[in-house]
Chain A
Amino acid sequence: MAGLKIEGITHDWGARRALDTVTLAVEPGRFCALLGPNGAGKSTLFGLLTRLFVPQSGRIEVAGHDLAREPRAALTQMGVVFQSSTLDLDLTVRRNLLYFAALHGLSGKDAEHRAMAALERLGMAERAGERAGALNGGHRRRMEIARALIHRPKVLLLDEPTVGLDAASRAAIVSHVHDLATDGLTVLWATHLVDEVHADDRLAILHRGRILADGEAGVIGGDNLSTRFLSMTKEAA
């Protein structure tokens, strides 16, 4: 499978178990929401998926590449939007994108072309010359998504990308990333907000380091995903 595969990941921080045999497989072109309350282990899982640190046991496969054995091939296929902003606020939007493109081996006209195409795609082409620090929160997030797509990855990881955004910006970004999945991108979207999950999305509920449910959101949530999510995480507490 060329999407994202997480098999039996366990990770401890000292005596505390952050992830307990987490297994999840997201097929290509699917939007998968990783829903969990604060402290569920989402950020630890993202740290492992992006190889900031390695799991104590288990295995991760990105677009068919084992992250432990072929880290560079796996990272090439991966676009990431981190929870905290990773922009250089002193540099222009265009410079930020070109810097990232170069880290992925893109330079010259190809990088310029891709950067502009990515900005146009997100409706931000006219802001290319602005300092990133001058953008509002919603535009910064859009820019980070555009940047994560420059090298045309097959898998896009987003760690609570709507934190701190107003309702309109949040809805727009959720909708846009759903469209990206429709176009063939595999998306893993970590969130603690149930209204970001569509009924036909793949849904995995993570709580206290364990997957409590994995399936189609409409099936897991029934009539009211919010109520179901609260009761599940309360039951498990």
Chain B
Amino acid sequence: MSVDAVSIAPPETERLPRARPFVALVAILQREALRFLGQKGRLVAALVRPLVWLFVFAAGFRAALGLSITPPYQTYVTYEIYIVPGLTGMILLFNGMQSSLSLVYDREMGSMRLLLTAPLPRWWLLFCRLLAGSLISILQAYAFLAIAWLYGIRFPWIGYVTALPALALAALMLGALGLLLSSLIRQLENFAGVMNFVIFPMFFLSSALYPLWKMAEASPFLRDLCAANPFTHAVELIRFALYAKGNLLAFGVTTGAFVLFAAAAVWGYDPARGFTARKA
């Protein structure tokens, strides 16, 4: 290796670069986007799961499930129409958890260390990662809605616009949960536990696949569990937004859960207190 020594240390008069939060934000967003585009199979993998549910599961259950008129619907809807907001939420949920997996992987591989040693507030660095993951989630959700549209499941045009803030809030909330979990998971191998104890209960104990009144017929207790699940409210927020309608309760619970998960994640990554202080 031919390496010529050159002057490295800055002259005393030279000012060192000052870290700029928005330059870092753009770089982190760009990195995630490039990684996403570089992993061609990731979009396909993200879409296959909800599409199987839509094309196979929903088609099979259409006859079995009769859905009454509940807001935001003003008429009887087919099961496919009912399930699409839930499956959109599923994409955000799985992608939020995938981000958490990649954070654990990054920590084991070291690139998380690189990020955390940047001269910026740690909460800002974590927020940048969260935002980057959420943007990818939203893109995937719109890709799914586009396929559903081609399949014939269509919402009012304005709904595709009003869904954006709902998708963003839901993606941030689920991404923050992923961030929190990544601060608690010690090793990559433990991620299977997250699947069993977080993703599946969150998805099945929600209004994604069946309305809560239907669940109440089976078990009032399970219905209460579903009502307490923030994922239920994220799905309802998306469902209402797709019809250009608001749902204050869903908005409040989703926002509250986002703030709670994000604060706990920042605590988890605090060098003096959380996970990183307990592990070499």
In the complex the two chains form, what is the Cα distance from A73 to B17 in whole Å? 10
The 3 closest A-B pairs by CB, nearest first: A102-B27, A184-B9, A179-B5
Which DSSP category, helix, strand, loop or mixed, fits chain B's interface? loop
Residues of A within 8 A of B118 (CB): 75, 103-104
Identify the A interface with B (CB < 8 A). 13, 18, 28-29, 43-44, 47, 50-54, 71-73, 75-78, 80, 82-88, 90-91, 95, 98-100, 102-107, 121-123, 138, 142, 149, 151-154, 168-169, 172-173, 175-176, 179-180, 182-185
Pairs across A and B, CB under 8 Å, 19 listed: A13-B278, A13-B280, A47-B280, A52-B113, A53-B272, A80-B117, A83-B110, A84-B110, A88-B35, A91-B31, A102-B24, A103-B114, A103-B120, A104-B118, A105-B23, A106-B17, A172-B3, A180-B5, A183-B8
Chain B residues with a Cβ closer than 8 Å to the other chain, count: 44
The reply to whether B1 and A169 form a contact with Cβ atoms under 8 Å apart is yes
In the complex the two chains form, what is the Cα distance from A16 to B130 in whole Å? 35
Residues of A within 8 A of B27 (CB): 98-99, 102-103, 107
The reply to whether B9 and A183 form a contact with Cβ atoms under 8 Å apart is yes
B211 to chain A, nearest CB (A): 42
The reply to whether A121 and B4 form a contact with Cβ atoms under 8 Å apart is yes
The reply to whether B1 and A18 form a contact with Cβ atoms under 8 Å apart is no
Q: Which of A13, A28, A76, A154 contacts B18 (CB 8 A)?
A: A76
Interface members, chain B 13-58 (any A CB < 8 Å)? 14, 16-20, 23-24, 26-27, 30-31, 34-35, 38-39
Number of A-B contacts (CB under 8 A): 148
In the complex the two chains form, what is the Cα distance from A83 to B113 in whole Å? 11
The reply to whether A53 and B24 form a contact with Cβ atoms under 8 Å apart is no
The reply to whether A149 and B280 form a contact with Cβ atoms under 8 Å apart is no
| Nearest neighbor of B26 in chain A, beta-carbon distance | A102
Whether B219 is near chain A, meaning CB under 8 Å from some CB there, is: no
B256 to chain A, nearest CB (A): 30
Contacts known (A85-B109, A104-B119, A107-B23); A176 close to B1, Cβ less than 8 A: yes
The reply to whether B3 and A95 form a contact with Cβ atoms under 8 Å apart is no
Contacts known (A76-B16, A78-B117); A54 close to B272, Cβ less than 8 A: yes
Residues of A within 8 A of B8 (CB): 149, 152, 180, 183-185
In the complex the two chains form, what is the Cα distance from A151 to B272 in whole Å? 26
In the complex the two chains form, what is the Cα distance from A123 to B271 in whole Å? 36
Instruction: Mark each residue of chain B from 92 to 127: 1 if its CB lies under 8 Å from any CB of chain A, else 0.
Output: 000000000000000001110111111111000000
The reply to whether A87 and B111 form a contact with Cβ atoms under 8 Å apart is yes
The reply to whether A86 and B110 form a contact with Cβ atoms under 8 Å apart is yes
Contacts known (A47-B280, A82-B113, A175-B3); A105 close to B20, Cβ less than 8 A: yes
